[in-house]
Structures are given as C-alpha cells and as structure tokens.
Chains A and B, each alone.
Chain A
Amino acid sequence: MNRLLTWLFGRLPIGWLQLSHSRTRLIAAVAGVAFANLLVFMQLGIMGALNNSTVAPYALIDGDIILSSSEGNTLTDSGNIARAYMFQALGVAGVASGIPLYIGNLPLTLADGSSISLLSFGVDISQTQFVAPVIAPALAGLALENTVLLDKDTRSMPAEALASLATGSSFTFEANGKTLTAVGSMAVGGGFLADGMMVTSDQTFLRFFGSRRSGAPDHILLRVVDGVSSATVVDRLRAELPAGIVKVQTMPEARAADLAFMATERPTGIIFGFGVFMGILVGLVIVYQVLSTDVADHLREYATFKAMGYDQPFFLGIVFEEALILAVFGFIPGLIVSMGLYAGLNVVTGLPVVMDSARAALVFVGTLAACSASGAIATRRLAAADPADLF
C-alpha cells in the first residue's frame, strides 16, 4: 500500500499514513462511507426496479409515434383517446398505418383462492408491426376467441402450466367468470404495475372489459412511411390534431416522459430521490467530520511542514488523498453488501432489483465527488496552521 501510494503521488503518502495510524478513525470513516453507499444503492435499486416496471410494457408494443390523451400520465395510466383521431392521422402525409391500443388491468382469482391482476394489451392482430418482433409470430394464434399470450414471469401462476406453454401446449384459466386460454408466452415480469401481463386481440379485450368501447382506446400507435423521419411526422400531426386533447410523441419520447413522470410527479419517485439525497448527505457529513478532525489534530505538523517550505497544494493533496482512500475503501464493502441485499429483495418481492455496472460506476464517481467535496470543505481548517506559533 505504502509503496503503491508513494509511486502514485511521488511523495510519502502522508494521508494514508495518517489515516492508518488512527485505526479507529479509519474504520469509523470507512464504515460511514460504506453505509452511505448502501443507502444510495438501495434507493437506486428500488427506483431502478420502479423505472423498469414503468417502461416494461414498452417491450411489448412497437411503433414510431404514439397518440395519447393529453390528460394521461403514462402508458398504463392514461385517459381515453377517440379512435377518430387515428383516421385523421392516417390522412396526414408520412403516416403509413395505425392501430388503436387498449390497455386494462384484469383481476383474476387463482385455483388456490389468491387473486392477482394481469396488465392486458388489446391489439389489432393483423398488424404485426405494432408488437415486439419476438411476439409478432404468435399474434396469428390469437385469432381464436378468448385466447391470450401470457407473461411467463407472472406471479403465483402455476409454474408447470406456464412452462408447458413453451412446448406448444395451452391451458385455460378463469377471469371475471369467463374462460381464457393461454396459447403462448412471453417474458416481461410483473414489477410494480401488475403481477403479470398478457396480450390479446382487440376483440377479446373488449369482451373481457365490458365497459370499454372500441371507439375509445387508450392510445393510438402509428407507423411512418419508410424513409420519413418520425420527428417530421410528429410536427405535422401536432399541427393537424387539437393540442389540448391529443398528445403526439415519438415512442422514445413517450418512454422518457413516463420515466420523468414517475421520478418527479409520483410520491414514490420523490421519496426515493429524497432517500438518495439523504444517503449522500450522510456520507458528506461523516467524511467531512473525519477529515476536518484529522486536519485539526495535525495542525502542528502541518505548520511545521509550512515552515519547511511546503505549499498549499501539498496540504490540499493530503486531504484529497485521504478523501480518495475513504471513497475507495468505503465503496467496496458498500457495493458488496448492496448486491447481497439486492439478491434478497429480488427473492422476497420478485421485483427486478439488479445491480448494473453503470449504476455501480455512477455511485463510485458520486462517492469520489462527495468525498472530495467534504475534503475541500475540511481544508478550510488548514488556514489555522500558522508556523509563527511553532516556537
């Protein structure tokens, strides 16, 4: 360690020597940073799972442009939009095709008496360009009445039944007193929105959601003519359709807007954001406390170094060296414990709480930044090191 740091800094690693000299202080500081990391990781993990489940339905549908009611919030939390706008849109130059998309939550009671809900998508099965390529071939099988594609990660569904779908056999289940037949499967996962998802034909959908009307879907999906940019068509549609009633977005825009909505408008997003903020604050305070005490404890030595001709950058270097060491030493255990907790959470709740390297890297960079910031504040105490007081 000494050798490595000496080589790294081109001088004695005073910061490291100082920190490792007072073991208890080092351990407390590292534990503090690790704890702050853990807090941040847990908040981000749950927020990530929330985001994942917010945008998971986008993996099922496809399209270039989505028309929605301007009163709607997200894909699955939307108002209705008149199908008439689809016909109007089809008349706009650059629009190739369109379908109404119906979305609803179907409650169902399982054999064991427990009830779950399935997020259901009703689509025009003759237009496969509006569903994900992986499920497009299976749409043909939905032509029969009351058939569905079922999410094979649906919670509480009998596992053998779900597994049998993959081998081509089907099974039936009851919902709302009517019988549905699962003829194929897909993998999405329930997350926060529902216990699972299913795709049906619009006909089947309307039969099961008796109060829904074919003239009032949740969204309208559009495809543009090959070679025309979606942005251009969006502009034309916005000019054509009444702004206060119809929201026109490209698919990626809609996806991003859903994430932004969940992060800033929904209490959950705000709570998790606040949790991250608290974690960072805890880390900042602990590191600041440790570093500024350390500076205060070594004022006499620093004053001596000043008298010997060491300049301000040298002292800043010591404090930043300490900040860096705390960041690295705290991050590693924080990451390991978080991964353990993620795995536990996943098992218990089935939520997609997973560590990805981008998040780990982000938190690491954040830890470095927060530790450096604390270090920078702690260096203000250096001014008190006056070599004239040494004699």
Chain B
Amino acid sequence: MGGAAPIVAQGLNHYFGLGEARKQAIWDLNLTIKRGTLTILMGPSGSGKTTVLTLMGCLRDVQEGRVDLLGHPLRGATEAELVQLRRRLGFIFQAHNLHESLTAAQNVLMGLQVHGAGDAVKQRHAAAHMLGLLGLADRMDYLPANLSGGQKQRVAVARALVSNPEVIFADEPTAALDKESGRVVVDMLKTLGQTRGTTTVMVTHDNRIMDLADRIITLEEGRVVKDTNP
C-alpha cells in the first residue's frame, strides 16, 4: 500500500433526479486524500458533503468522472468488487443504525463477522476490548433500547473500528455525543491514523474538533471553495 493515496477523485460530477428535476449536486470535484490523515468536510446544508462521502465510500454509483478507492476505480466496478471493498472500510453514520435485536457486543461482532466466522473467542475479545476503549465495558450485553443516545453512537463507532478498516467515513459522528465522548472518538480516529495509517474522512460542523484535523475542505453548492491544512 505504501504512500499511495487511498482516495483519488477526478472530474467528479453527480446529478440527482431525472428530466426537468435533474439537478447537479457535485461539480468537477478533484481531490487526493493521503493515507493516515484526518480530513474534515464542511460547508452549509445541501452543499454536497454527504453526497461526496457516499460516492467515495462506494455506497452510491459514480456517474461522471473518476473515484479510485484503495487503488480500485469505483466506476463500473461489479457488485462483488464493491462488497469486497466495503469490507475494508468503516462507516460511522449520523444515526447509530444499531440492530435493535442485537446486544451492544453482538452489534460490534457484526463488524467482525463480515470477514468470516473466524475464531469466536478472539472475536468476542476484540469486541469487548473495543467497547472498553469507548467506555462501554459495563454495557456489553445491553440491547440498544436500554442505552442512551450517546452510548448507542459509541457502540456504532466500536462496530466501525473493530475490524481495523483502512478508510473510515463518518458523517457528523459527534452530533449525538457530549463534548467529552465526542473528543474521545475523534482522538481515537486521529490516533488510528498515526499508528496504523487509517485514513478518515469526516463531515462535521463541530468546531470543538477542528484543531485535530490534518486537512479541512469546505464545500459550497457542490464545489470546493476552501482547502486548508491547519
């Protein structure tokens, strides 16, 4: 892998709707994101942040232009290739999206079992360790319904990080967290970048964490208007 950029976007355009209603959301986006960095996407509502994130995270088909993720061009990739790629990524959504029927530990296990059954004992330990790091050691066997909003979000973070993803995409992951645990999560992402070379792209409005970013990209109406390395 070395220093090759995990994410490269070139001449990326994206449109929503059909016919009269067709509307361009992303205009000629060109971006190269370096390995092991924490990049923050910001901009007003409707500026295209989420759209960019889903395009780079192979959750949405690339219509025009080019996105290379971990060395693989996403446009024209088969569903099977996309599935394989997704297993190397971690997603943290604004809503926790935990499975209501699974306990905290089982939800985290789902992040591991996507790679196969593996060693059940090892997997349980990994899940427990990750939940412990996020301060949830005593909530392992709770169903989401019995957890607070912040706790649920931290379980979701644990689920995304437990499989050591190469790239993490997060959309306002700290919105549901108090200042303290928000900071813990972002610190963690930052540390992962430095120790394991994990690359993080995060959408956030949270000023409290801007200082941790390696790069801040500002979008407006689907275009990059500012790109800084603080």
Contacts and interface: CB of A to CB of B under 8 A. Distances in A.
Nearest to A17: B101
Given A387-B59, A391-B50, A17 B83 contact: no
A356 interface: no
A308 B106 contact: no
Interface residues of A, number: 25
B114 A388 contact: no
A309 B114 contact: yes
Contacts of A12: 102, 106, 109-110, 113
A301 interface: yes
Interface in B23-55: 50, 53-54
A18 B101 contact: yes
A21 B212 CA distance: 41
Contacts of A298: 99
A304 interface: yes
Interface string B87-98: 111010111011
Given A12-B106, A304-B93, A308-B91, A388 B60 contact: yes
Given A304-B93, A304-B97, A308-B111, A391 B53 contact: yes
Contacts of B225: none
B60 A21 contact: no
A361 B130 CA distance: 47
Interface string B56-98: 0101100000000000000000011001111111010111011
A17 B87 contact: no
A390 to B, nearest CB: 5
B111 A388 contact: no
Contacts of A300: 97
A388 B54 contact: yes
Given A309-B83, A309-B86, A391 B110 contact: no
A19 to B, nearest CB: 8
Nearest to B100: A21
Given A10-B117, A391-B94, A309 B101 contact: no
Contacts of A17: 101-102, 106
Interface string B127-154: 0000000000000000000000000000
A307 interface: yes
Contacts of A310: 83, 114
The B interface is mostly helix, strand or loop, or mixed, namely: mixed
Nearest to B113: A11
Interface string A1-18: 000001000111010011
Contacts of A20: 101
Interface in A349-391: 387-388, 390-391
A226 interface: no
Contacts of A301: 97-100
B166 interface: no
Given A10-B117, A304-B93, A387-B59, A309 B100 contact: no
A21 to B, nearest CB: 4
Contacts of A311: 79-80, 83
A305 interface: yes
A14 B93 contact: no
Contacts of B60: 388
Nearest to A300: B97
Contacts of B91: 304, 307-308, 390
B101 A308 contact: no
Nearest to B82: A309
Nearest to B102: A17
Contacts of B79: 311
Contacts of B94: 391
A309 B111 CA distance: 9
A6 B121 CA distance: 13
Contacts of B106: 12, 17
Contacts of B100: 21, 301
Given A304-B93, A309-B114, A387-B59, A14 B83 contact: no
A14 B54 CA distance: 26
A391 B93 contact: yes
A6 B171 CA distance: 33
Given A311-B79, A390-B59, A391-B93, 18 more contacts: A11-B113, A11-B117, A17-B102, A18-B101, A21-B100, A21-B101, A301-B97, A304-B97, A305-B114, A307-B57, A308-B91, A308-B111, A309-B83, A310-B83, A387-B59, A388-B60, A390-B97, A391-B54
8 contacts: A11-B113, A14-B99, A305-B110, A307-B86, A309-B86, A309-B114, A387-B54, A390-B93
Interface of A: 6, 10-12, 14, 17-18, 20-21, 298, 300-301, 303-311, 387-388, 390-391
A-B CB proximity, top 5 nearest: A309-B87, A21-B101, A309-B86, A10-B117, A304-B97
